Amino acid sequence: MDQLRFDGRVAVVTGAGGGLGKAYALLLGSRGAKVVVNDLGSARDGVGKSNFADAVVKEIKDKGGEAVADYNSVVEGEKIIKTALDNFGRIDILINNAGILRDKSFQKMSDQDWDLVHAVHLKGAFKTTQVAWETFKKQKFGRVIMTSSNAGLLGNFGQANYSAAKMGLVGLASTLSIEGAKYNIKVNTIVPTAASRLTEDILPPDMYQAMKPELIAPVVAYMSHESFEDSGLIIDSTLGFATKAHLIRSQGAPLRRKPTDPVTIESVKEKWGEVVNMNGARRIDKIAEVTVDLVEKLQEFEERSKLDTDRESYWATYKYNSKDLVCYALGIGASVVNESDLRFLYESHENFTALPTFFILPGMVMESPVISQAMPPGKHADFTNILHGEQYIEFVDQFPGNEGEFTIRNYVVDVLDKGSSAVAIVNSEVFQDRQLVLRTQQHIFVLGQGGFGGARNSSRAAGVQSAPRREPDARVTQRTADDQAALYRLSGDLNPLHIDPNVATASGHPKPILHGLASLGFSVRHILAKYAGNDPSNFKAIKARFAKPVLPGQTLITEMWLEGKRVHFQTKLKETDSVVIAGAYVDLKNVVKDGNSSPTTQSAPSSSNLKSDSLFAKIEDGIKANPDKAKSVGAVFLYNITENGKTVKQWTLDLKSGLTVYQGEPKTGKADTTMTVSDNDLMDIAAGTLSPQVAYLKGKIKIAGNIMLAQKLGPLLKSGAKL
Ligand SMILES: CCCCCCC[C@@H](O)CC(=O)SCCNC(=O)CCNC(=O)[C@H](O)C(C)(C)COP(=O)(O)OP(=O)(O)OC[C@H]1O[C@@H](n2cnc3c(N)ncnc32)[C@H](O)[C@@H]1OP(=O)(O)O
């Protein structure tokens, strides 16, 4: 990068006899600026005189630069600027650095302590800048640096006068950055922490040594350069580090339910948590935006209040991006083992998209008090007594994109009395850019909290639907992973019931149970592959009841019945034959039968007509005949055998445990490497006419996982096949 120079520029640095000011003056002088080295030459309380400025001027001149000393007080700022104009004919850069301390605990602080500190810091900066402003405007160029302090931004014991003045400088810079904008006058604030006369016996000696002003000077010099375009910034710098600080505002909260309601002290108290909640807080850059923001909030509030029911709504926001979609897909059993799942797992896939059940998540506002507040007197709901009972989602219009932000309105429509237990029905309306995009409904089963004399049923509940009384039209089997709940938690449901053995035992479960939405996600993926062409935008609605808990590691069998555009389904556990999801259905826009179904979700295809059966028998024999070679590879491989781009069979070669070869579902799901290869290519590899390495390089074998291991397997496969 070219050296940043200040040739032809005139800089005034106040308080430049030592410390930071001296470092600024020396640096600017060494880069071609003509410098006015201002210093009153006093100790840090503003008392005493010395000629520090002369020494700095000499140092600049000795190195071939130009500088002049100035001993005026910043309170008479016009005299300092006059020194610049008289000696150099102009002024381009003004660094308001001069300062003094008069530290006292607040009650002991005298008027004089207050006035003196304000006079030097705030009034001084006002005076110098106001006089220089005229020249800056005329020449349409000016760079001003104000010096604030963390004692101003954050407060510091014994520095009430100094903190107030330092925060005052931030306000001064903010306004001047606006007034100076059209004249190319940039006004910024530095918050330095450095060794100086002000800090010399305040900082511990080691730190004092390390906090060299020379580490901050380049930051201030860059902010004073003609190429520096920002204005109104607060830059904190120390020890060779720089950071930007700014004020942010919370999302805020309306202090009443309806625009016609009064605001009371009690309603303010009630809403205080939302007022000070900094989730989703943001920076407002311009004062005009504050008004726009308030007007928008008011409009939004008025629109929302029209939606309000007799029960209070809880509003929330939900932001998501491709990483969330991938994390979620992993949580509901999508896997790179299935080529057709890649579109849910790889953000750069040409057809990357969200899985349909992902959009249930915005409505699951875990921190919402909406359920606990709706419970009848004497009844309570919290993580210790709730189970997810039923779930409904409806896509109102377009299927949402791969990233976005939703505003969600959550409200309880009914609390049903089911005898021993209660069921809270929670509706969520999910908006994007003020348009309703999704509706969801959760039934939350609240154990042991019934018997309050409430209604048993609700007309506002999306009902479950019985499946037809015939054999299912399709079945898909998939084992959940032992870590399924741990993985699913990453999508936001941190209920300890799914991870903490003690909580699970206390709730009467043998071990942590799987999230209901995780099991539902598996089954809906099966339907997606079987009847929706693997295209989530084909979905209109989903409804399910969680009939029994699922334990991570259990195997789900999704049974499906196609009736027009509705797929009824239920999900059973392979281990116990019990129904865990009941009365469920998916409504589709279009039915696409057997659309790109994935291997792990298929029961093993009949193998009789597959050319590779005998091939794999040969490979197995070959591996058995070459046990040493096989052991040296020692890994688990999955082979997806594809025909016409569709996976028709899967083989697992487990070289670690007894050299077994078997087909069908992967036993463990813990393959080190997955290879996808067409049947014909596999035959060629086996026949020795196609080397596995060449096949890989030509893209004929797709490998997910450990490529080195897969390449090692090549010769082994060949040796086995040749037998
Ligand atoms: C807003 C954000 C909030 C976030 C909350 C979600 C946080 C998540 O972390 C929580 C979870 O994921 S928990 C895991 C998933 N859920 C489960 O495992 C529950 C499985 N279901 C059960 O165990 C039983 O059905 C059980 C125990 C629920 C009911 O069994 P029984 O007590 O034996 O009930 P039963 O005698 O069969 O029926 C009594 C009445 O209740 C109705 N009912 C039954 N199951 C229901 C269910 N799952 N959902 C809703 N209602 C249900 C019955 O219809 C019956 O009513 P009625 O007599 O009027 O017909």
* Same domain membership, residue 188 and residue 70: yes
Nearest alpha carbon, ligand 1 atom 2: 364
Report the residue count for the chain.
723
Whether the CB-CB separation of 600 and 335 falls below 8 Å is answered with: yes
Evaluated on CA atoms 489, 495, 496, 497, the torsion sign reads negative
* Same domain membership, residue 634 and residue 515: no
Q: Residue 700 maps to which CATH number?
A: 3.30.1050.10
> Does the residue 255 lie in any domain?
no
> Does the residue 257 lie in any domain?
no
Tens-place pLDDT, residues 347-389: 999 899 999 999 999 999 877 888 988 999 999 999 889 999 9
Which residues share a beta bridge with 623? none
Please identify, among 600, 632, 647, the residue that sits at the C-terminal boundary of a domain.
Answer: 600
Ligand 1 near 390 CB (within 6 A)? yes
Ligand 1 near 442 CB (within 6 A)? yes
* Same domain membership, residue 511 and residue 472: yes
* Same domain membership, residue 226 and residue 352: no
* SS3 per residue for 469-504: CCCCCEEEEEECCCCHHHHHHCCCCCCHHHCCHHHH
* Same domain membership, residue 573 and residue 438: yes
Residue that is written with structure tokens 């005189």 in the block: 49
Ligand 1 near 702 CB (within 6 A)? no
* Same domain membership, residue 279 and residue 356: no
Please identify, among 308, 336, 361, the residue that sits at the C-terminal boundary of a domain.
Answer: 308
Strand ranges inside 261-403, DSSP E = 314-320, 386-395
Tens-place pLDDT, residues 401-416: 999 999 999 999 999 9
> Does the residue 202 lie in any domain?
yes
Instruction: For residue 363, give the ligand 1 atom closest to its CA.
Output: 1
Q: Which residues carry out catalysis?
A: 162
Rounded CA separation 497/483 (Å): 14
* Same domain membership, residue 192 and residue 78: yes
State the helix-helix crossing angle for 111-118 and 160-179, rounded to 10 degrees. 30
Q: Residue 32 maps to which CATH number?
A: 3.40.50.720
Nearest alpha carbon, ligand 1 atom 46: 389
Residues of the chain under the 50 pLDDT cut? 595-612, 657-663, 665-669, 718-723
| Count of C-beta atoms within a 10 Å radius of residue 661 | 19
Phi, then psi, of 102 in degrees rounded to 5: -140, 65
Distance 548 CA to ligand 1 centre (A): 8
In 3-state terms the chain splits into helix, strand, coil percentages (rounded to 5) of 35, 25, 40
The pLDDT of residue 303: 74
> Does the residue 3 lie in any domain?
no
Nearest alpha carbon, ligand 1 atom 53: 418
- Complex confidence, ipTM: 0.97
Please identify, among 577, 600, 623, the residue that sits at the C-terminal boundary of a domain.
Answer: 600
| Ligand 1 pocket test target in 313, 360, 418, 430 with most atoms within 8 Å of CB | 418
> Does the residue 486 lie in any domain?
yes
Count how many domains the chain has.
4
> Does the residue 4 lie in any domain?
no
The string over 20-34, giving b where at least 16 C-beta atoms fall within 10 Å of a residue's C-beta and e elsewhere, is bbbbbbbbbbbbbbb
Nearest alpha carbon, ligand 1 atom 29: 547
The pLDDT of residue 668: 46
| Count of C-beta atoms within a 10 Å radius of residue 176 | 24
Ligand 1 near 389 CB (within 6 A)? yes
The string over 81-112, giving b where at least 16 C-beta atoms fall within 10 Å of a residue's C-beta and e elsewhere, is bbbbeeebeebbbbbbbbbbbbbeeeeebeee
| Ligand 1 pocket test target in 366, 413, 445 with most atoms within 8 Å of CB | 445
* Same domain membership, residue 614 and residue 592: no
* Same domain membership, residue 570 and residue 660: no
* Same domain membership, residue 234 and residue 142: yes
Residue that is written with structure tokens 């000011």 in the block: 21
Distance 545 CA to ligand 1 centre (A): 8
> Does the residue 281 lie in any domain?
yes
Ligand 1 near 456 CB (within 6 A)? yes
Whether the CB-CB separation of 24 and 178 falls below 8 Å is answered with: no
Q: How far apart are the first and last CA of the chain?
A: 65
Q: Which of 569, 530, 525 is nearest to 358 (CA)?
A: 525
> Does the residue 252 lie in any domain?
no
* Same domain membership, residue 630 and residue 570: no
* Same domain membership, residue 475 and residue 395: yes
Q: 277: domain range? A: 265-308
Q: Residue 435 maps to which CATH number?
A: 3.10.129.10
